[in-house]
């Protein structure tokens, strides 16, 4: 079987977002795509077992508070005012996986221990 120079995979979104526009690939001088697929599957399973998803609702951002409105109506010598309170809108909630970073680190460590190197690809 012919060995491939590189085996490619996009790294999890977390690494991509932290690295900006950088693109990374797993590389091995001695392993082929079949080995990569097996190692990748094994490492995904180990990382998921060690760091299962823990979903939690969080809120990010600033709440919005509209101002109080007062309207006054004059009828002859009599003034009647009505005040409407402002409206509070909380920041939107998001659901995040608290273990995502740990799982990514465990996956990367497993792949490195399996003989793969994460390299930046310059395009």
Do 49 and 11 lie in one domain? The reply is: yes
Do 123 and 66 lie in one domain? The reply is: no
Do 15 and 74 lie in one domain? The reply is: no
Has residue 4 got a pLDDT over 50? no
| Band of residue 8 on the pLDDT scale cut at 50, 70, 90 | very low
Do 15 and 39 lie in one domain? The reply is: yes
Has residue 28 got a pLDDT over 90? yes
Has residue 27 got a pLDDT over 60? yes
What is the domain count for the chain?
Answer: 2
Do 45 and 72 lie in one domain? The reply is: no
52 within 8 A of 99, measured Cβ to Cβ: yes
| Band of residue 106 on the pLDDT scale cut at 50, 70, 90 | very high
Q: What is the C-alpha separation between 111 and 44, in angstroms, rounded?
A: 9
Mean pLDDT of the chain: 85
Q: Domain span at residue 83? A: 58-97
Do 62 and 121 lie in one domain? The reply is: no
pTM of the full structure: 0.61
Give the per-residue pLDDT at 122.
83
Do 116 and 91 lie in one domain? The reply is: no
Do 50 and 1 lie in one domain? The reply is: yes
Give the per-residue pLDDT at 17.
45
Do 115 and 87 lie in one domain? The reply is: no
Do 36 and 15 lie in one domain? The reply is: yes
């Amino acid at each position: 079987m012919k060995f491939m120079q590189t085996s490619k995979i996009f790294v999890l979104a977390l690494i991509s977002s932290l690295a900006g526009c950088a693109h990374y690939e797993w590389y091995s001088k001695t392993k082929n795509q079949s080995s990569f697929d097996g190692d990748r599957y094994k490492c995904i399973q180990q990382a998921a077992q060690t760091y299962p998803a823990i979903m939690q609702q969080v809120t990010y951002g600033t709440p919005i508070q509209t101002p109080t409105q007062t309207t006054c109506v004059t009828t002859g010598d009599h003034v009647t005012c009505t005040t409407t309170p402002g409206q509070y809108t909380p920041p939107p909630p998001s659901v995040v996986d608290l273990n995502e970073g740990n799982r990514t680190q465990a996956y990367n460590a497993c792949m490195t221990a399996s003989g793969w190197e994460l390299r930046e690809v310059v395009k």
